Structures are given as C-alpha cells and as structure tokens.
Amino acid sequence: MSITVTFLDPRGKPVVAEAEPGDNLLRLGQAAGLPLEGTCEGQMACSTCHVIVAAEWFERLPLASEEEEDMLDFAAGARRTSRLSCQIELTAGMDGLTVSIPAESNDLRRM
C-alpha cells in the first residue's frame, strides 16, 4: 500500500509524493526535489531537514526523542509542530500526511 505525503514548499506550493511503509520522510522529500538539505544524513547533527508538521498530524506521529527535541531548539523558524524529517519513518497510518518546508534552515555544523 502506498502512502501519499504532501509537502508544501517554502512558497506554499504543494508537492505530492508517494511512499511505501518504511520509507524515510527526508529521503522522500529530497527525491521529490524539495529543498531539504539533510546535511548530516540523519545523524541529528544539523537540523537542515526541519519540517513543520500540519497540526492535525503532529499528535499522530511517534514522539520526538530528547535528542531530536534538543536539535529542534536550533532549527530556524521552529514551531510547536516542528520535527526533523530524517527521524520520521513512514507507516501506513501516515497516508495523507502534510508537512511544510520552512523558508530558512540552520546547519549547525556551519555555525
């Protein structure tokens, strides 16, 4: 079964991508051509994979780890529903997920 994810690019333009359970949200967004750098490749060391999850979806995702929360504190434009996309593994229950890509990102490794 495929999972449909809608990304809103930094200008708010929707980009729809199809995924399979087990796919990673960062990789899916990158494959769809979205500006998600993911510089540290999922090591939770950069926050350039930051996305803002639609409010109705935020509660339905598995909770962020403490390390992820700490890293989100440094993400540019972080909001209450921010997540690191590299930490989200897609499941069948996430069909219809919508996330926004913030206009700016911080690569902590460049600070």
Residues that bind ligand FES (CB under 6 A): 26, 38-42, 44-49, 71, 84, 86
CB of 39 vs ligand FES, minimal distance in Å = 6
Cα angle 86, 105, 9 (rounded to 5 degrees) comes to: 75
* Closest distance to ligand FES from the beta carbon of 56 (Å): 23
- Of 84 and 92, which has the nearer Cβ to ligand FES? 84
Chain position whose Cβ is nearest to ligand FES? 86
Cβ partners under 8 Å of residue 110, min gap 6? none
Distance CA 42, CA 65 (A): 13
Torsion sign, CA atoms 66, 8, 26, 93: positive
Q: State the minimum distance, in angstroms, from the CB of residue 76 to ligand FES.
A: 13
Decide whether 39 or 81 has the Cβ nearer to ligand FES.
39
- 3 or 86: CB nearest ligand FES: 86
| 103: Cβ contacts below 8 Å, ≥ 6 apart | 10, 77
